[in-house]
Chains A and B, each alone.
Chain A
Amino acid sequence: MSLIEIKDLKRHYEMTSETVKALDGINLTIEEGERVILLGPSGSGKTTLLNCISALDVPTDGKYIFAGKEVPRDKSEQMTTFRRENIGYVFQFFNLLQDLTVLENILLIQELADGKDQDRALKLLKLVGLEAETNRFPAEISGGQQQRVAIARSIAKKPRLLLGDELTGNLDTETSTRVMKTLVSACESEKITAIFVTHDESLIQFATRVIRIDSGKIISDEKVA
């Protein structure tokens, strides 16, 4: 059974004078363990697709099946529960809570998901190479380190799918490579499927599959590993 099955997915925005077709009939199947990179120019619809996959946005039409079940799209709390139970999210600007230490940032997500597990949080920090920074605050560590904390946070509640939107967009090349290696390692060890949105072609090396999107449609879909 595929993890994600998307059929003829559409996301249209009604503007004053026209209808913007951000997604215009996307068909996509993603298997467990894949690491997919969505590539495309600005405004191509890749972030909208990511938002629909994470149940942040509601498609205008089409079908979206996750692990054999239709993803809720009407009730906000059901969508939140879906995200909590299935999705990990890494932001471009890390979005760590500045008032919490590195460790607390991870524990917070576990607490909110009713699954506080300090041992796992420490293990994840070790996995991303930050076991020495557990009690430091985000402002006290580098951008690359912050992004690695964000990765640890995103997988802290054992999601089945990890999403990232331009997650290295705010990092230099060397740090980007290190972050991506960490991510790949984390996904493999935790057996997590991942989808990343990026402009950066150099990240293809970390993916198992590359999907290119333009004008709300998939224009190419190829396996790379």
Chain B
Amino acid sequence: MSMLLTKRLMRSLWRTKLRLFAVIMMVTIGVFAGITFGMYANVVTDMYEDTYLDDEDGVNLPDIWVKNPGGTWNETTSENLCQLVEDEWSSDILELENCESRLILPGLMYHENESMSAIWHGIDEGNIDRVWFPEHECCSGRLAEAANEIVIDYHVAKGLEIKLNDVVSLGAGFGKIDYNVVGIGLHSNHFYFADQGSIIPADVGTFATGYLSAEGLEKLANVSPGTSNTLLIDVKGTPAYDLLSTPENEGPELESLVENLTVSFSLQDGISVVIHDRSGQESVEFLRADVEGAKLTYPYVTGMIAVVAGVTIFLSLQRLIQSQAKEIAVLRTLGVPRTSIMQGYILAPLVIGGIGSLIGALLGWYVGGPGMLDFYSEIIGIPIVLDTASNSIITENVMIAMVIVFLSGIRPAWQASRLQPLEVFRGQNEVRISSRTIQKLTAKLPATLGLTIRSSIRKPIRLAFTFLALGLSMVLFGTMVMLMGSMEDIFGANNDYDAQVFIPLEGEDEVINWAQENGADYELVLQYPGSPEGDNRQFLIYGLDKIETKDSQLSMMGVNLKDGDLPIINSAMTQVLIDEGTSVFLDWEVGDQEIIMLGSTPLKVEVSGITKGEMQRTIYFHRADLSQIVNMNATSVLLSFSEGVVINSDLEDLSIGISTTEDIKKSMDTLLEQQQGILFAMNGLGLLIAFAVLFNTLVMNIAERDFELSTLRVLGAPMNKLGIMLLGEHLFIGIVGGIIACLASVFMATMMVESMVQWAFYFTIEPTLLHILTIGGIVVGMAVALTPLGMWRIYKMNLVEKIKDLSQ
């Protein structure tokens, strides 16, 4: 290929610097975003895998959890149950490594005259699910050995500035006890640091966790030595388990083992347990699902932005070829072969893609990726202890971008090489008129309006590509706008109570007395774990005093009823409400009769209605119905305070944890605040790309109409009339583009959410009129805002030069 031909093409491209930079920027953004998300997904996945390992550095994450949902086991029962696990071990392939009992209790932590709800772990042997002290500045010290020692979770220590050797006051329903802080570490149950039953990361001072010696927690909870409520079972190696996010069963062997153990436990008198593998462990599953979502998403993000860049390259090259048609025709007449012409136009997008990819890769690897990991670390609160990412992320993302930009150059290159010199010299290649149908449809309109419409849709393929690119680029913005809206709906603390007081077994009367003495309204809540029959996945089951809709404000914990009716108390068959996610994942509908496992107890229920807005899979019972089955009255009391009433030490002493609506709101506000930066950045990015796409097309439209517009200017057309024509054209493109952007955003956002949602978190996107108006309005606004630019270009036209062009 001739160097001179390449040089000619490069100089031509350089003449359209702004467009060139815009396209390079799009490729850069695509690769940057892909590498940023990819690095985050890969590093975090590797980090979790390393962390969970059964080696010296790992925490030795259990493979099976056996939990007592209704109380505790004494030492003998705990030992017997571990023996039962060993005796009833049904797998020949999977080998039991260890069974360890543990006491994990809710409680309170007192800090500077404030209390916060807490989870305390009493660790005896500590071979399984160890406290994690990574080699990182986050963590230090040692495990708690004595009865007055504690390891405080890193999240809490950081937030409350607790250091080694400090003294902290804890409670678990039996008064306060001081403990010496001997370590600051992390625990697999609380990597994702959220209060019990919540999915929002806890804000500073609203939730605490700590790891005591078994003796230490027994003292705090006033229970006998050896008491436990959880069995941690470790299988040799790391057996595969069924991932909730996939339709396949990755761990049939482990699943069968869990099922057999469930049967064995159910045959024991007075023993009701919930058994699950890693997929049922909320913190573990939530983080896994999060990174899996990122892993699935990042190639699409790169691909989507690269497609937008590809479309822009395609359109720009087409325009370039059109403007260079005469040059190409001359070259062809002089005998330059087609292949030589073609090569240049194929090379151009590769160079553009190469430059964009290089910049994107450097920025993604050195800025975006580390920045994203820092951001993740800040939100989740886990130090990133692994800082190596595979550079295959770079290869993968650059390849995606390069393939797309290469493909975008093929057709323009082919078109350039096929230009017929004679047609070009006769000007026939430039004759482009709108379709007959459009001409007929607009025949009755004033000529100016008719011309506006016809010229707007003169090039339907370009317009279609523009709308495609615009739709895709607005998807980023639209999805973010709708996600933010949905997040606020889901996380919004819209409960009608002020505090949820968690109580020890049969401890509700004392709290009710406190409420009556202090003029507070109350409702009892019974929370209990459950699962579908023959299924590892966990429900959050609520037994409520009053099941009412949120709108009615008749219950402190109202529901958003989507379908069906509220359940009737004491029905022949127990009626329940299920959340939308449960309905989707289990295919349960209103009127269905299904079996729910409450611990080891199966219960046939009728689905009376479906609720929406719950992120976790939730089932609502009338408390009276649930209470009869699980033989528990309540696990917490909802309190609504009249003015002047506050939580005091009397109430704290009666409770094993208090979660206030104010704390939830505070956590929500912090989460939104933390995410605002990245959401705004994503929104800005989407808008910037959409603007670049629109700018490119509208400028090309005007450039192509130089002939028309200069003719009209020479003939004396005033700027204001041309401005109105241009405005009409931009308005038309803006409105159609806006509609397409809205449709694409809703469609893509729904698809994205559908692919992201899992058992652990489910939500839907419901576009509102405000969302639609925002997305559409922005596109229309951008298109209209470009009108002055077009007018400026017309105003600045050198008519003398144009007249020369028109005469050649």
- State the CA gap A139–B451 with chains docked (Å): 16
B716–A111 touching, CB < 8 Å: no
Known contacts: A98-B432, A99-B451, A99-B458. The answer to whether A113 contacts B711 by CB under 8 A is no
A112–B800 touching, CB < 8 Å: no
Binding site for B on A (CB under 8 A): 47, 51, 54, 56-57, 76-77, 80-85, 87-89, 91-93, 95, 97-101, 104-105, 107-109, 111-113, 116, 137, 139, 153-154, 157, 165-166, 169
B711–A80 touching, CB < 8 Å: no
From 405 to 445 in chain B, residues with beta carbon under 8 angstroms from any chain A beta carbon are 427, 431-434, 439, 443
Known contacts: A95-B707, A98-B431, A111-B447. The answer to whether A81 contacts B795 by CB under 8 A is no
A89–B451 touching, CB < 8 Å: no
A112–B716 touching, CB < 8 Å: yes
Contacts of B719 in A (CB 8 A): 77, 80
From 704 to 755 in chain B, residues with beta carbon under 8 angstroms from any chain A beta carbon are 707-708, 711-719, 721
Contacts of A153 in B (CB 8 A): 715
Closest-by-CB residue of B relative to A54 is B714
Q: Check: B76 CB closer than 8 A to any chain A CB.
A: no
Q: Check: B799 CB closer than 8 A to any chain A CB.
A: yes
- State the CA gap A64–B427 with chains docked (Å): 37
Residue of A57, A76, A87, A154 near B800 (CB, 8 A) is A57
9 CB < 8 A contacts A-B: A80-B713, A81-B718, A82-B716, A84-B716, A91-B714, A99-B454, A109-B712, A112-B712, A139-B431
A98–B714 touching, CB < 8 Å: no
Known contacts: A56-B714, A139-B433, A154-B715. The answer to whether A99 contacts B799 by CB under 8 A is no
Q: Check: B446 CB closer than 8 A to any chain A CB.
A: yes
Known contacts: A81-B716, A109-B715. The answer to whether A56 contacts B450 by CB under 8 A is no
- State the CA gap A84–B719 with chains docked (Å): 12
Contacts of B458 in A (CB 8 A): 99
The secondary-structure label for the interface of chain B is: helix
- State the CA gap A47–B443 with chains docked (Å): 37
A166–B807 touching, CB < 8 Å: yes
- State the CA gap A207–B717 with chains docked (Å): 29
Contacts of A95 in B (CB 8 A): 707, 711, 806
Closest-by-CB residue of A relative to B716 is A84
Contacts of B446 in A (CB 8 A): 107, 111, 116
Q: Which of B455, B458, B799 has the most CB of A within 10 A?
A: B799
Q: Check: B160 CB closer than 8 A to any chain A CB.
A: no
Q: Check: B386 CB closer than 8 A to any chain A CB.
A: no
Chain B proximity of A202: nearest CB distance (Å): 20
Contacts of B715 in A (CB 8 A): 83-84, 88-89, 109, 112, 153-154
B711–A56 touching, CB < 8 Å: no
- State the CA gap A98–B807 with chains docked (Å): 17
Contacts of B714 in A (CB 8 A): 54, 56, 83, 89, 91
B718–A84 touching, CB < 8 Å: yes
Contacts of B708 in A (CB 8 A): 97
Residue of B433, B716, B807 near A80 (CB, 8 A) is B716
- State the CA gap A87–B713 with chains docked (Å): 12
From 450 to 467 in chain B, residues with beta carbon under 8 angstroms from any chain A beta carbon are 450-451, 454-455, 458
A80–B717 touching, CB < 8 Å: yes
Shortest 5 CB-CB contacts between residues of A and residues of B: A84-B716, A108-B447, A83-B716, A99-B454, A112-B717
- State the CA gap A165–B807 with chains docked (Å): 8
Closest-by-CB residue of A relative to B445 is A104
Known contacts: A56-B799, A83-B714, A100-B451. The answer to whether A93 contacts B431 by CB under 8 A is no
- State the CA gap A46–B718 with chains docked (Å): 27
Q: Check: B263 CB closer than 8 A to any chain A CB.
A: no
